[in-house]
Amino acid sequence: MKIIILGAGKLGIRLVEALVDGDYDVTLVDNNEEKLNHLAQQYDVLTVAGDAKTVELLREVNVSEADFLLSTTTSDDTNILAASFAKILGCKYVAARVRDPEHMNQLEFIREHYNIDMIINPDLLITGEIYRYLIDKYTLSNGIYTFDRIALIEFEASRMPEVVGKNLIEFRAIQPDFLVIGISKNGKIIVPHGPDVIEEGDLLYLIGEKQDIFKLSKRVHSKFHHADSRKVMIIGGGKTGYYLARRLSEYGSKVKIVEQDKQRCHYLTNKLRNVMVLNGDGANIRMLEEEDLNEMDAFVTCTGYDEENLLLALTAKNHGVEDVISKVSHESYKELISKLGIDIVLNPLDISASSILRAIRGSKRVLSSVLLQGQAELLEIYASDRMNMLNVPLRNLELPEYIIIAAIRRGAETIIPDGNTVIKDGDRVIIVCLVSNIGYVEKLTRPTMRLNIRR
C-alpha cells in the first residue's frame, strides 16, 4: 500500500512511526530538507523536499499510484489544495488536516467541492472526547458496547467490591467469565496484566459474552441518565477551548472561559453565545477563586502549555472540582500524569493519528473500533491465514505491555483467551492497544510481520 504524507510535523511523524513497520510504502514530503535528512536516517521512508501544493511535486512522488495521501502542513489552505490536486491526479483516498474555526461551518462544502475524502481537525476530535466525558461520562451510551455476541462494559471498581485490592490473576479466579482489558487510574488508561492491582477509585473495562455482561450491568450500573446542565470553567481560549465552549453552551451548560489575550477575548465574545469570556491569566488562582472555581462541576485546561495545563488541573482537583480534564501533547509527562489524580488527560496527537489509521486500514482488516477515554483503542480485526500470529499460543507472541488480545469470536463460539489460546484463520480478534502505541497493531495485522515468537 503506497502512502504519501505531506508535512513532517508532529502528526506526520507520528503516522510515519505507526506505519513504518507495517506493509506500507511511505513517502514523506516537507519543505525543510535538513529535517527530512534527519528523519530519513531514523525511518525507512522515502523523503522528498518541495512545495506540497504544487502539481509538479505531486507528480514527482507518483501520486497517481498512491492509495492514501494525508496533507498535514501548517497551512489549512495548502492542505485543502494539495489533497484536492492529489485526488484529481488519481490518488485513491485523500485526507486533509483543517484547523481554522472559520472553516468549520463549511467543512461539508469543502469536502464535497474539493473532492476530499476525509477532513481531520485535532481540536474537534479532542473536543468530542471531552464532551462525551462531561455529558455522557463515557458510559458508551448505556455502559455497554457490543460486538455481536461479545460486549464491553465500563464501571467503577467500587461497584464490585470483591475485586478491589485483587490483582488480575485473582480477578480471573473470582470472575472467570470476564477479562479486564483496561483500567483508568487517576486519569490514565493502562492495559492491565497479571500483577496489576485493582484499586477502589479505578474505572474498569471488562469484556465477556453479551448475556453475561448484561447481567453484570444490572448489578454495577445505576439507571443511566444524561448529566444535568453543568458549570464548566475552561482555561485557554484557543481552538480547543472555543469548540468545547460552543458545544457545551449549546447543550445547556453554564460555561466560563478564561483567556489571557485581549484580542482573542473579543473574538470569543463575538463568536460564542451564552458563554462568559474572562480576560485574565488562568494561572492566577485568586482570580479563579473569585470566579467561583470551588463551585464548578468541571474544569478543563487547554492552553498551549502542557506544564500549565497539568498544574492548573491539579489545583482544580485540590479545590474539590469533580471532573478535571487536561490537554497534554508531550509523551514525557506520561508517568507524572498517573500520580496527579486528574480525571482525564487527552493527547490530541494520539486521537488524530488513531482516526487517520482507521481510515488507512479500512474495513477489510479492522471491522470496528472504539476509543476508551481517548487513550486506548479497542479494535475488532479479521484474522487472515497469512498472519504469523496464527496457530501460536498467545503467551509465545511475547506482546508488549501496552497491548492485549481481549477476545476471539470463532463461528458461534466466544473465547475469552488465556496464554494457551491460539488464534486461527477466520477468527474475529478483539485487540486493545494504547493509542500512543497503536502502530504495533500494524505488526499484528500485516501478512509478513516480524514478531518475537517462541515456538
DSSP structure class, residue 226? P
**Separation CA 323–CA 406 (nearest Å):** 29
Is the pLDDT at 451 greater than 80? The verdict is no
> How much is the average pLDDT of 390-400?
85
The answer to whether residues 24 and 1 touch, using CB atoms and an 8 Å cutoff, is yes
Would you place residue 137 in the very low, low, confident or very high pLDDT band (cuts 50, 70, 90)?
low
Q: Within a 10 A sphere around the Cβ of 294, how many other Cβ atoms?
A: 10
> How much is the average pLDDT of 358-372?
68
Output 140 or 84, whichever has higher pLDDT: 84
> How much is the average pLDDT of 39-67?
94
Output 73 or 353, whichever has higher pLDDT: 73
Which segments of 89-153 does DSSP mark as H helices, in order? Answer: 107-113, 122-131, 140-143
- pLDDT at position 149 is 80
Is the pLDDT at 24 greater than 80? The verdict is yes
φ, ψ of residue 16 to 5 degrees: the values are -60, -45
Q: Within a 10 A sphere around the Cβ of 380, how many other Cβ atoms?
A: 20
**Separation CA 393–CA 297 (nearest Å):** 48
Sign of torsion over alpha carbons 105, 108, 112, 118: positive
Would you place residue 138 in the very low, low, confident or very high pLDDT band (cuts 50, 70, 90)?
very low
Q: How many residues does the chain have?
A: 455
Would you place residue 217 in the very low, low, confident or very high pLDDT band (cuts 50, 70, 90)?
confident
Would you place residue 105 in the very low, low, confident or very high pLDDT band (cuts 50, 70, 90)?
confident
- Write out pLDDT tens, residues 145-169: 777 788 888 888 999 999 999 999 9
Q: Within a 10 A sphere around the Cβ of 167, how many other Cβ atoms?
A: 15
359 burial level (CB within 10 Å; 0-12, 13-18, 19+): middle
Name which of 58-62, 136-140, 284-288 the model is least confident about.
136-140
| Residue pointed to by grid coordinates 480478534 | 429
